[in-house]
Amino acid sequence: MFVRNLLNRVVARDLVIVFILLIVVPPFLGAYVTSLVGVAVIYMLLAVSLDIAWGYTGILSLGQSVFFGLGGYTVSIVLLAGHGVLHTIVAIGLGVLLPAVAALLIGWILFFTRSSQFYVSVVTLALAVLASEVVLQAASITGGANGLPGVPGFALGPMGNYYIVLGVAGLTLAAAYIFTRSDFGKVVVAVRDNEERMSFLGYNAPAIKTIALTLSALIAGVAGVMYAPYQGFVSPNAIGFSLATQAVIWVAIGGRGKLIGAVVGALLVNILAPVVQGVLPFVWGIAIGLVFIIVVLLVPNGLYSLFPWAKGQTLDISRITALIAPRKDAERVSVPLSVRKLQVSHGALRVLREISFELRPKQLRSLIGPNGAGKSTLVDAITGRVRPSAGEVVVEGSVVSREQPERIVRRGVARTFQTANVVESLSVAQNLQLAAWRGRLPSLVRRTHDVALPIFVEEALNHSQISEKLNKQAQLLSHGERKVLELFMVLATQPDVLLLDEPTAGLTVVERRDIGELLRRLCETSQVSIMMIEHDIEFVKSIADEITLLHDGIVAASGSVSEMEDNEVVRSVYLGGVQA
């Protein structure tokens, strides 16, 4: 049953077909051609490592060759220093471990400083150039420009050596496939496509990207460890920028983000290259450059995407279940959210000035005000999206004004955005699943096929239209459906404080009524406190406990619904009740 289910998955099936061909065909090609295919298989692993970093995680590493070369040079230096089983074990261990450690350090430096993708690419490019220079200058250790010849090999003959490489590559690729199909792989893809949303679901995006880069470097290290003994030497070409750019070309031509594209791209290019160069030595570089440009312009998803079955979608979530969430202690905290003299300035522009209020348990406070009053900025400042210039945000007794969004979420604060913010490349059910995990890092091996939602979310979901679209990509939903999905996502995190930025904008009358009833019921049956930005004053009056008017960056008025109806300031700002 497992094998049948595996082969029903398009990518897995095609990977198996490729490996069957790699097992069966080479014996008929002769020793020389088989050795060339073996090198292509090693480079295939380098491409797979880049695909995990670039295709799955969104990290365009222009220095992936550094991890490959580090593995190759490490195993060569240790093996040339002595023979025996112990040297071999140490050589392999260090050759795989050092690239992973290097990637861990690079990820920690780059991602935890919130560097942009462009900066990450530039730094990894600089690392490839720097590594090449280090290898050339440290000639006493690395052999300089001549490299390190005479690296001890597998000594099993051309076919035996080839099948050792193929076996290691198969096991490594299987591990990579399991990782990309795992729950953690799903989180990695979500961070790639919408890092902000994932941060506001409680996920530590820098840590996730660092782990993914480290795993990709581990695979590149395995490739480098095989390369040196298989070839019998290692040279600066194995660590420099040229190999790194070639890997980018292989992945781009085959197609990134599915593993099979990287596999096919690397094998095709590296098997065809020596054949074409042998016949037309000056044509290959021009030809591969033109193919790369054409693919990037006309087939941005790679050549593999041209196959009809490559577009097939398989169901991922099979079941939605109700989770009875643990009851919250009613005496745990008297004021779950307190804002004290909060200020936000952009240069000389003061957006928020001395904002202070408290949100009590079970309270539904509506924040109203004209456009530009600072309502969304206030929510941004509370949740860590914007750094306050002064004042404090206190969540359950702890000051969070300087904390990152994911840490604030873990303290029980969840939010929606003015424009629906979901992971559009994933299905409705997958979005809900990620939210229900509440920022916890899931398994790197297991893939969960059900979603456990709090019982009130599961009941509300069953009464919504999106319950019939659970395995549909979120990008195919209407604006209103994405708004509803986002609300269900933040509710699935089981928050203590819920901040909603125009949750009913774009919804139908029926949807607005259902959302209003859900929010009201949520406050009455749990300890959740809600602050909601809303322009529809009639909707606000129907569900709110208190209303706060924000105008020109200050709290202009605040009180119960009845008090605010008679407030002259509210009437002035809203022109007698007309929406701003």
For the segment 113-134, the average pLDDT, to the nearest whole number, is: 90
Residue 73 domain flag:
yes
Q: Which residues contact 337 (CB under 8 A, 6 or more apart)?
A: 358, 359, 382, 393, 394, 395, 413, 497, 529, 531
By residue range, what is the domain housing residue 443?
337-573
pLDDT in tens, 76-101: 999 998 878 888 899 999 999 999 99
525-527-532 Cα angle (round to 5): 95
| Predicted pLDDT at 7 | 44
Total number of domains in the chain: 2
Q: Does one domain contain both 254 and 369?
A: no
Q: What are phi and psi of 448, to 5 degrees?
A: -85, 135
User: Distances in Å between the alpha carbon of 200 and those of 154, 413, 498?
Assistant: 50, 9, 12
Asked whether residue 431 is assigned to any structural domain, the reply reads yes
Least confident of 357-361, 401-405, 571-575: 571-575
Of 210, 267, 216, 281, the C-alpha closest to 49 is 216
Average pLDDT over residues 165-193: 95
pLDDT in tens, 373-432: 899 999 999 999 999 999 999 998 889 988 999 999 999 999 999 889 999 999 999 999
Cα separation, 264 vs 230, whole angstroms: 21
Residues 191, 272 within the same domain: yes
Q: Which residues pair with 323 in a beta bridge?
A: 454
Average pLDDT, the chain: 88
Whether residue 214 is contained in a domain is answered as yes
Q: Which of 451, 459, 5, 489 is nearest to 201 (CA)?
A: 489
d(CA 312, CA 320): 23
Tell whether 412 and 351 lie within a shared domain.
yes
Domain presence at residue 332: no
Tell me the pTM.
Answer: 0.90
- Domain-terminating residue out of 296, 311, 326: 311
Within this chain, do residues 300 and 350 fall inside the same structural domain, yes or no?
no
